[in-house]
Amino acid sequence: MIRFDNVGLRYGTGPEILRDINFEVGPKSFQFLTGPSGAGKTSLIRLFFLSLKPSRGLITVFGRDAATLSRNDLPEVRRRIGVVFQDFRLLDHLTTFENIALPLRVLGQEETSYRADVIELLRWVGLGDRMHAFPPVLSGGEKQRAAIARALIGKPEILLADEPTGNVDPPLARRLMRLFV
């Protein structure tokens, strides 16, 4: 599904922050990416999501060379990848329900076609009673669960999560990890 062959990344003329990255993520696999702060984990996820281009090497996504994808192809490929960002990226002016439904709204789907799925997912992540709340009043753990639900609503083939348990207490971290498996 995603393959990296000798991928390297540098920002501008700075040093190479990722060097000779080789791996493959296949269907139905579960991978953990660990490392110290500043090691390049977030940059690697951005490469996965095709929001960064490598300085060298080949990234193959769903059998296609990422370098040959046009601007028009990128949204189609990205829809197949769910991402939980480290900073949540929830929109403060939208309710929890609306934030989770946003990927489907962007595709032009009517609320009647996805309302039940969003409500079910809200309950599944433990936010059924917070669907009308706005992000500024949510706790860090609630925002994290909302971000996970948003990443899952489109039924992605690949789910990427950047520090999904960062800044939450150990019991909530265990609960969040159970959502992924």
Per-chain mean pLDDT for the chain: 89
Domain boundary among 10, 43, 78: 78
Q: Return d(Cα 148, Cα 160) in angstroms, integer.
A: 10
Residues 94 and 181 in one domain: yes
| 163 within domain boundaries | no
The residue-averaged pLDDT of 68-78 equals 91
Residues 102 and 178 in one domain: yes
| 167 within domain boundaries | no
**pLDDT above 80 for 88:** yes
Domain boundary among 59, 78, 97: 78
Residues 59 and 94 in one domain: no
For the four alpha carbons of 96, 100, 103 and 106, in that order, the dihedral sign comes to negative
Residue 65's pLDDT is what?
A: 96
The residues, any chain, with a CB within 8 Å of residue 37's CB and separated by 6 or more, are none
| Residue range(s) defining the domain that contains residue 12 | 1-78
| 164 within domain boundaries | no
Residue 94's pLDDT is what?
A: 97
Q: What is residue 180's three-state secondary structure?
A: helix
Domain boundary among 78, 108, 136: 78
**pLDDT above 90 for 41:** no
Residue 167's pLDDT is what?
A: 66
Indicate the DSSP class of residue 177. H
Q: Which of 141, 68, 78, 67 shows the shortest CA–CA distance to 106?
A: 78
The total domain count for the chain is 2
Residues 64 and 102 in one domain: no
Residue 176's pLDDT is what?
A: 73
Residue 84's pLDDT is what?
A: 84
Residue 32: pLDDT band by 50, 70, 90 thresholds? confident
Tens of pLDDT, residues 115-143? 999 999 999 888 999 999 999 999 988 99
Residues 106 and 42 in one domain: no
Residues 67 and 5 in one domain: yes
Tens of pLDDT, residues 147-179? 989 998 998 888 888 877 776 778 877 877 777
Greater confidence, 114 or 176?
114
Residues 102 and 176 in one domain: yes
